[in-house]
Structure 1
Amino acid sequence: MNGATLPHSIGDLSVRTGVPVRTIRFYSDTGLLPPAHRTPAGYRRYSDASVGRLHLICVLRDLDVDLPTIRRVLDEGLSVAEVAAAQREATALRIRTLRLRQSILRLVAERGSSPEETVLMHRLTHLTTEERKRLVADFVAGLAPGTPQARGAAAVLGTALPVLPDDPSDAQLAAWVEIAELMADDGFRARLANGAFAASDEAALPRVASEKAAELVSFTREAVAAARGAGIEPDSAAAVPVVDSVVARFAAVLGRPAGPGLREWMAREFDAGHDPLVERYWRLVWTVNDWQVVDGHLPFQPWMTEALGRP
């Protein structure tokens, strides 16, 4: 076949495909789209098959397939399906990276972060899975050698560790950053070590005999969980019978009158037994792990303290 029987010049090929002449010339020079013939004057001529070949090259480039891989496809050393499978995984990784970058930028903008905070957040969010595990494990292990309260806290914390997924949502990423900041806070670690976090029902009422405390806290926890589940707010009239039942149980177990004095004492005890920062930590863990909030796992003290203070 000579140049006279080849229907396409490089200009015609450009018009038919919409690909710029300089791009076609580049593909020709690199061997991806060799001309079928050159005229005596050196002009390139292409066959009808060249049109389909150029279309395939352009589609693969648009899908971000590199030139060496395209050459293997054109040489039939690699199927389009195999390339698509590999490219799909690479694209998914790039999408995760871009989403993470977008989440960090949104978090920095929302928090009004300083340059130092921005650098810290970038570092925290780019830790590997193993590095995140080690950070959490070191924090929990740092509590274990301390007091019995600290060892109890470490035991409970170890049962529900925060695990950031590979493709976190904005909320999960923000929660992870806040958890990491709490773990780096010596004051937060001290609050756990000093027993502000009740690792058991008995510890929630330290001035009450352990067997009585366990019964009372368990009863109160279940009552508050049921009230929350029913949508009862602590400052509503519907909370009155719930509070009355809890006060009655305390009076019976402790042998005290169910009067204002007992109610005031209960409110003080519940308030002292609750640490809002520790509650915040657990809510952050639930967010990172994408766990459903269960009423029975929420601290009961704030609800009861507010309900006991209702006129």
Structure 2
Amino acid sequence: MDGDTLHPIGELARRTGLTVKTIRFYSDRGIVAPVERSPAGYRLYTVDAVARLDLVRTLRDLGVDLPTIRRVVERELPVPEVAAVHAEALAVQIRVLRLRYAVLTAVAERGLTAEESDLMHRLARLSEEERRGLVGDFLDAVFEGLGADSAFAGIRRSMTPEVSGDPEAEQVRAWVEWAELAMDPDFRACVRRMAQDHATEQPRGGAAVLRRDVGAVVRDRVGPVLADGVEPASPRADPVVAALAAHCAHVLGRPDDAELRRLLLARLGRMGDRRRDRYVEVLAVINGWPAPESLSAVFDWAAQAVRVRLERRGTGGRRP
């Protein structure tokens, strides 16, 4: 098929792999028009029709609409420009599909109800501005009025999720779970109490450096004995509890008595909340950080050890 030879529609179909019906459809819309008709009324095409049809099929496979294709084949639009536009459109579709995949797999894994599934969809589809609003609302509820110095602000930043513009499916699922935690009034209140605990442990006078909190001391003191298999009620745990109580007494400026140990027990209970661990885990996924170490076992051990010694004193373990 070359030169000035004219060819019937059946020959085009054979050369391009398209059906006669499809070629006739494009022909009727002026995208690949015949140059003339035979005496019997059959459409005849030049060799250029093969190249046009190949281009049309490629653009249709990319999802380009027919009006745009007509402009391309008539050379009103350059192919690279059309390809760039549709590449961006495909990128948007990929992000949407990734979002749907993340939500559907989360629904399947967690066995959610229809209402919970709807909530997940709505959370996952929040705009960037809406996500920032939700994050800011949660962090304000936790930290408002507790300190404006740069060191304390660093804690707020360390608890802030940064959702990328093109998150992976795992990050989308983590974001949805973060949002569910952030909107839970009970969890907000618990985190607020932990932030208040931390604030009361800090030196007065606007110092820019934060004092080591009880949580860090618990981790360092309890971690080794927990790894050694020491039971919370064991006499070997006495020095650990004494050290924790002494640190708490020092930072709060009060004696190590039953009331202080009840305060310590209450703080350990809040720090050992499983939701706190989960918050840190999903935050790491969202922000692309290394997986954090779980501290729930450490806080549980410390709380049991303090409670046992309170009960031995006969003071009970009621929370303040």
**Taking structure 1 as reference, are residues 181 and 154 closer, same or farther at Cα in structure 2, changes over 3 Å only?**
farther
Match of 2:286? 288
Match of 1:209? none
Deviation string 1:192-247 (CA, Å, 9 cap, x unpaired) is 233377536937xxxxxxxxx8487655545678x6xxxx972558xxxxx89967
**CA distance, structure 2, for counterparts of residue 244 and residue 293 of structure 1:** 32
**CA distance, structure 1, for counterparts of residue 113 and residue 302 of structure 2:** 41
**CA distance, structure 2, for counterparts of residue 288 and residue 192 of structure 1:** 19
Match of 1:303? 298
Q: How far off is 1:84 after superposition?
A: 1.8
Query: Could you list the runs of 5+ residues in structure 2 that have no partner in the other structure?
Result: 203-210, 231-236, 251-260, 306-320
Q: CA RMSD in A?
A: 4.0
**Structure 1 counterpart of 2:227, which letter?**
P
Deviation string 1:85-140 (CA, Å, 9 cap, x unpaired) is 22211111111111111111111111211111111111111000110001111222
Q: Number of paired residues?
A: 277
Tell me, yes or no, if the aligned pair for 1:32 and 1:71 is still in contact at 8 Å: yes
Q: How does 1:145-224 map to 2 (within 5 A)?
A: 145=144, 148=146, 156-195=155-194, 198-199=197-198, 202=201, 214=212, 221=219
Equivalent position SS for 2:87: helix
Tell me, yes or no, if the aligned pair for 1:7 and 1:45 is still in contact at 8 Å: yes
Q: How far off is 1:188 after superposition?
A: 1.3
Equivalent residue for 2:276, pick from 275, 278, 282 = 278
**CA distance, structure 1, for counterparts of residue 46 and residue 25 of structure 2:** 17
Tell me, yes or no, if the aligned pair for 2:284 and 2:292 is still in contact at 8 Å: no
Equivalent position SS for 2:40: coil
Match of 1:51? 50
Tell me, yes or no, if the aligned pair for 2:16 and 2:50 is still in contact at 8 Å: yes
**Taking structure 1 as reference, are residues 64 and 21 closer, same or farther at Cα in structure 2, changes over 3 Å only?**
same
**Taking structure 1 as reference, are residues 267 and 164 closer, same or farther at Cα in structure 2, changes over 3 Å only?**
same
Match of 1:102? 101
**CA distance, structure 2, for counterparts of residue 219 and residue 136 of structure 1:** 29
**CA distance, structure 2, for counterparts of residue 106 and residue 13 of structure 1:** 46
Q: Is the deviation greater in 152-161 or in 108-117?
A: 152-161
**CA distance, structure 2, for counterparts of residue 136 and residue 285 of structure 1:** 12
**Structure 2 counterpart of 1:234, which letter?**
A
Tell me, yes or no, if the aligned pair for 1:234 and 1:307 is still in contact at 8 Å: no
Query: Could you list the runs of 5+ residues in structure 1 that have no partner in the other structure?
Result: 204-212, 238-242, 256-263
**Taking structure 1 as reference, are residues 126 and 265 closer, same or farther at Cα in structure 2, changes over 3 Å only?**
closer
Tell me, yes or no, if the aligned pair for 2:9 and 2:23 is still in contact at 8 Å: yes
Matched, 1:129 2:128: yes
Tell me, yes or no, if the aligned pair for 1:270 and 1:304 is still in contact at 8 Å: no
Deviation string 1:156-185 (CA, Å, 9 cap, x unpaired) is 335531122233233222221122112221
Q: How does 1:255-270 map to 2 (within 5 A)?
A: 268=265
Equivalent position SS for 2:227: coil
**Structure 2 counterpart of 1:83, which letter?**
V
**CA distance, structure 2, for counterparts of residue 7 and residue 234 of structure 1:** 86
**CA distance, structure 2, for counterparts of residue 182 and residue 216 of structure 1:** 24
Q: How does 1:29-68 map to 2 (within 5 A)?
A: 29-68=28-67
Taking structure 1 as the reference length, the TM-score comes to 0.72
Equivalent position SS for 1:113: coil
Equivalent position SS for 2:176: helix
Give the fraction of aligned pairs with identical amino acids, expressed as a percent: 40
**CA distance, structure 2, for counterparts of residue 189 and residue 54 of structure 1:** 61
**CA distance, structure 1, for counterparts of residue 304 and residue 141 of structure 2:** 38
Tell me, yes or no, if the aligned pair for 1:17 and 1:55 is still in contact at 8 Å: yes
Equivalent position SS for 1:291: coil
**CA distance, structure 2, for counterparts of residue 36 and residue 135 of structure 1:** 62
Equivalent position SS for 1:6: coil
Tell me, yes or no, if the aligned pair for 1:103 and 1:170 is still in contact at 8 Å: yes
**CA distance, structure 2, for counterparts of residue 142 and residue 267 of structure 1:** 24
Q: How far off is 1:49 after superposition?
A: 1.6
Equivalent position SS for 2:177: helix
**Structure 2 counterpart of 1:302, which letter?**
A
Tell me, yes or no, if the aligned pair for 2:218 and 2:302 is still in contact at 8 Å: no
Equivalent position SS for 2:44: strand
Tell me, yes or no, if the aligned pair for 1:201 and 1:217 is still in contact at 8 Å: no
**CA distance, structure 2, for counterparts of residue 215 and residue 103 of structure 1:** 37
Deviation string 1:230-272 (CA, Å, 9 cap, x unpaired) is xx972558xxxxx8996796699789xxxxxxxx999957733
Equivalent position SS for 1:45: strand
Tell me, yes or no, if the aligned pair for 1:234 and 1:304 is still in contact at 8 Å: no
**CA distance, structure 2, for counterparts of residue 70 and residue 34 of structure 1:** 14
Matched, 1:117 2:116: yes
Tell me, yes or no, if the aligned pair for 1:35 and 1:46 is still in contact at 8 Å: yes
